[in-house]
Structures are given as structure tokens and as C-alpha cells.
Amino acid sequence: MARVFSLCNMQSTIGTYTRDHGTDITPIIQLIPQIIINFRRHNTIGLQRSMMLLWACAGVPLGAYNVTENFNIALQIQPQILTTLSLITWIQCYYYEDVSLISPGFPTHTVLDSQLL
């Protein structure tokens, strides 16, 4: 029974914090499926790596603020999770772009190259 109360308390605290301070946990919920999709498709087409880097950078001051203000542990961990998942997605953008450029199925010659031969 105490565990259920603790979970409800945590969810209500996150909801109150989200409403009062404007922080949203939806980027975290969005990044987990995005990481899985990137891994399964082996590409990151349509995903901007600059946005992932900005999300990762935004997590640093948010995390410092939450820790210094001594918020709940859930709110102190949330920016670190956001930063970690954003950096994983950012690394995937670079990795899968580089892999797709050198993959065997990728055409390496152009029409101009074939005319020169």
C-alpha cells in the first residue's frame, strides 16, 4: 500500500511541477521510441541532430537548478535522463549517417562517372 501511495505522490508532484514551472516530460517519452526506431531502421532520416544537441544542452542547467532548489528526486533525475537520451539520439544521427554513406548498397558513382568510363 505504501508503494502505491509513493507512486501516486511522485506522479502528482511531477504534474504539479509541470503545471507550475513549465517543464514537460514528453521529450523523454518521445526519445525512447525514437532510439528504438533509429536502431531498427539503421537511419535517422528526418531527425535533426542540432535539436538533439540543444535538448542535451538544455538538460544541464535544468538539472543544476532542480538539484540546487532541492526538488523531489524524480525532478532531479528527469534532466539527466533527458540529457542522456538526447545524447544517445544525437550520436545515432552521426553514426547512422556515416554508416549509410559507406554501406555497400549505397550508389557510389554518378551518371557523370559512368559517361567517363
Widest CA span in the chain? 77
Query: 24-103 in CATH: which number?
Result: 1.20.1280
Between 11 and 90, residue with greater pLDDT: 90
Break the chain into its structural domains and give their ranges: 24-103
Report the predicted TM-score, pTM, of the whole model to 2 decimal places. 0.63
Contact predicate 90/44, CB 8 Å = no
C-alpha cell at 59: 538538460
**Distance, CA of 44 to chain centre:** 13
Q: What is the pLDDT of residues 3-31, one digit of tens each?
A: 544 444 555 455 545 555 555 667 778 88
Higher pLDDT, 44 or 1: 44
